Chains A and B, each alone.
Chain A
Amino acid sequence: MRDVMGVINIDSMDEPLEELTGTRCIASVPFGGRYRLVDFVLSSMSNSGVHNVGVFTLNKYRSLMDHLEDGKSWDLNKKEEGLFILPPNNYPLVNYRGDLHNFYDHLDYFYRSRQKQAIVSAGNIICNINFSGLVNFHRENSAHITIFYKELQGAGEFEHCRKLKTAKGGRVLQIEEEPGTMEDSDRVMIEIYLMEKALLVELIENSTGNGSCSLLRDGIIKNIGDLRVYGFPHHGYLSVINSVEQYYRHSMELLNTKIYEELFFKHGLVYTKVKDEPPVKYLEGASVSNSLLANGCLIEGDIQNSILFRGVNIHRGARVKDSIIMQKCEIGENAVIENAILDKESHVSGGRTVKGQKNNPVIIPKRKSV
């Protein structure tokens, strides 16, 4: 792994998670009680022995930088290399056309990195992967690019993801240009791939002249006939967050202890920024079932099928059901929360009700009082 660097590529300025991405990029959306989406890929990289990671980001990255700090929590505060946060060199981004554009601004970072391969990953993937399998497969096949894919099990999984087709032996024949156009494949591409750094640098260098600006579309998909592109199956748990619906569904999946144990323990721990909160305190009226609770919570109410982030305060008689309550929220006495996502530091006064629909949760934005 000494020869592999990491690139976390947050290449969209959209707000796929509505209000949850109103003030933050998708990679820093809180997830799983104490994490941010970026923690999963970043921890996987660190646990796999990748010690040089560049996080490319476009906009709304204050919370991401605040979260990542100097990379210490992921063991990436190295004397040499470590963690690099790389926003665009020039604003405004009106002329921004794709991720190669941003990479181009930071070509020096790629030149300076001494690794021969790069794991390029999106910032919205929930997984815990040891990358050594991918790296070995890639080297055995002398591949230029090796892409993770998943076999689809049922309908409704991995929406908004591209499908791909592979030949025997794993060679990728085709990747969807527009998601939803390939009917005859049940393999979906995960935006985590390993590529030769020399190729990556070449694609970046050539990106300005000819107007090609998307690494995946212009760099990989268009050249798929000329490159040795391989697919590598990912077994085990992995999910991609592209919508509020997926965010809510995959959050609630953590209440399945099989997924919980696999994601948080199987391939090493998932790291995040330390908050130094004391343990959760259950007081007299507490009644909790099928829920996840992070440290620093004070619980006097009733909680069912929910996820509570660090430092949440649930007062006496309050009822929380099928909901996600982010950091430092306060739920007043006898308040009722159902099918809701409360962003950080929101406050629901005593006796108030916040109710969304089943599988269509209502979002209370950050620091809002209800």
Chain B
Amino acid sequence: MIPAKECVAMLLAGGEGKRLGPLTREMAKPAVPFGGKYRVIDFTLSNCFNSGIYIVGVLTQYQPLVLNMHIGIGSPWGLDRKSGRVAILPPYVDKKGGRWYRGTANAVYQNFYFIDQYDPQYVLVISGDHIYKMDYSKMLHFHKEKEAEATIAVIEVPWEEAGRFGIMITSEDGRILEFQEKPQQPQNNLASMGIYIFNKEVLKKYLHKDERNSKSSKDFGKDVIPMMLKEGCRMYAFPFRDYWRDVGTVESLWEANMDLLSDKPALDLYDRDWRIYTVNPNQPPHYVAPYAHVKRSLVNEGCMIYGRVEHSVLFPGVYVGEGSVIKDSIIMPHARIGCNVKIEKAIIGEKTVVRNFCQVCSLEKEHPEIILIKENIIIPENAVITSTVIGHKKVN
């Protein structure tokens, strides 16, 4: 365990997650529910606690309410300690006026006073958008061993996808020689995971420098890292070989949920030595009725199931009526599915009611699109829904 003040984490949680459509209309991307129980940010918060990093600044900006309520004082993640805390750091006003965060680097720059009060040697910068389990203390150990000024966690991605990522070219011992942001012709497949450890003074210097550069977009990946590299900083790539997913699109969110349903998923939620923590909903055990059928699924507490659930993920308090069939779907907390409803490859929003005899499935048979139904709406009886519903209008 590393002492609390050796390293402070800055968790970027202001992302809008535009490509998640209606899911992020009322909450930031890190607050999106995941895996039948969690919100995306739980993974990074749990990683911090499990890695012994007890001081976490959470930078919020876009739709922070759900996130703020969720994080509270950090008790579920064991971060409400004498020697640790979660601080939510939204944009603020001072004598010179107020400014929104103009990029990930600017957000950390504006909150450097938060880091300074703990006088850490190292700063861990992470993003609340990703699903993975990682021991940051190992990465810090690597950082110290290499006497690096900055260390970036990297993961091998399929070559054909390398163009979507920030790609590292490294020497044999892991020193970063070159960084290509979304290259058209990638020369390597080591992608940045958006997880950085900096020596605090080095970070401070380059954030100040980047701040003065009017052409910069104030982004770690696009601006700060390339500048540091250009100026000859000692930067290393820390290889990570486990499960890591950016759930930035509806498809990737759906797929990452479905990944959990395989026999031995790469992301093991049942590992008692590396638990993922979240706010507890205080629901009783879930009930499965005499003629219900549940197979290859995740089901949380408080659910009542009378119908058929196959290859799906059910959050707490979901009701599935008799004769209904739910397949390849994600049902968010407290959604109520009536009787004789058919739902296939869909994401049903929180507290939404799907009344009896509705059909929610794409007409496309070969590669059906994922149908998204927003939270807190009522789909009336007998409705046939074949595409995403973001309001009442599209309901037949």
Contact = CB atoms under 8 A, between A and B. Distances in A.
Query: A and B: partners?
Result: yes
B113 interface: no
Contacts of A263: 284
A294 B301 contact: yes
A293 B295 contact: no
Given A276-B275, A276-B277, A279-B300, A286 B284 contact: no
B282 A291 contact: no
Contacts of A269: 282-283
Most chain B CB within 10 A, of A263, A279, A291, is at A279
Most chain A CB within 10 A, of B36, B261, B278, B288, is at B288
Nearest to B287: A292
B2 to A, nearest CB: 23
A257 B260 CA distance: 29
A283 B278 CA distance: 24
A351 to B, nearest CB: 22
Contacts of B278: 276
B282 A278 contact: no
B291 interface: yes
A167 interface: no
A140 to B, nearest CB: 33
Contacts of A289: 288-292
A290 B295 contact: no
21 contacts: A257-B289, A260-B284, A263-B284, A264-B284, A271-B282, A276-B276, A276-B277, A278-B35, A278-B298, A279-B299, A279-B300, A281-B270, A289-B288, A292-B284, A292-B285, A292-B287, A293-B285, A293-B288, A294-B285, A296-B270, A308-B285
A364 interface: no
Contacts of A183: none
Interface string A270-310: 11101010111111101111111111101000000001110
Interface of A: 32-34, 255, 257, 260, 263-264, 269-272, 274, 276, 278-284, 286-296, 298, 307-309
Interface string B300-338: 110010000000011000000000000000000000000
A293 B286 contact: yes
B284 A34 contact: yes
B264 to A, nearest CB: 10
Contact of B295 (A264, A272, A284): A284
B269 interface: yes
B258 to A, nearest CB: 13
A145 to B, nearest CB: 32
B284 A33 contact: yes
B280 interface: yes
B340 interface: no
Contacts of A34: 284-285, 301
Given A34-B284, A282-B294, A287-B293, 8 more contacts: A257-B289, A260-B284, A260-B287, A272-B282, A276-B280, A278-B35, A278-B269, A292-B287
Contacts of A272: 282
Contact of A279 (B37, B282, B304): B37
B94 interface: no
A287 B310 CA distance: 12
Nearest to B297: A282
Interface in B100-129: none
B296 A284 contact: yes
B263 interface: yes
Interface residues of B, number: 37
A230 B42 CA distance: 51
A278 B261 CA distance: 13
Nearest to B271: A278
B270 A298 contact: yes
Most chain A CB within 10 A, of B36, B278, B284, B290, is at B284
B299 A280 contact: yes
Contacts of A309: 285
Contact of B37 (A32, A255, A278, A287): A278
Contacts of B290: 289-290
Contact of A281 (B275, B298, B304): B298
Contacts of B296: 282-284, 286
Contacts of A288: 288, 292, 294
Contacts of B291: 289
Contacts of B299: 279-280, 282, 293
Nearest to B278: A276
Contacts of A271: 282
Contacts of B276: 276, 278
Shortest 3 CB-CB distances between A and B: which pairs? Answer: A33-B285, A279-B36, A278-B269
Nearest to B316: A279
Nearest to B292: A289
A39 to B, nearest CB: 11
A246 to B, nearest CB: 20
A116 to B, nearest CB: 30
Most chain B CB within 10 A, of A255, A263, A278, A309, is at A278
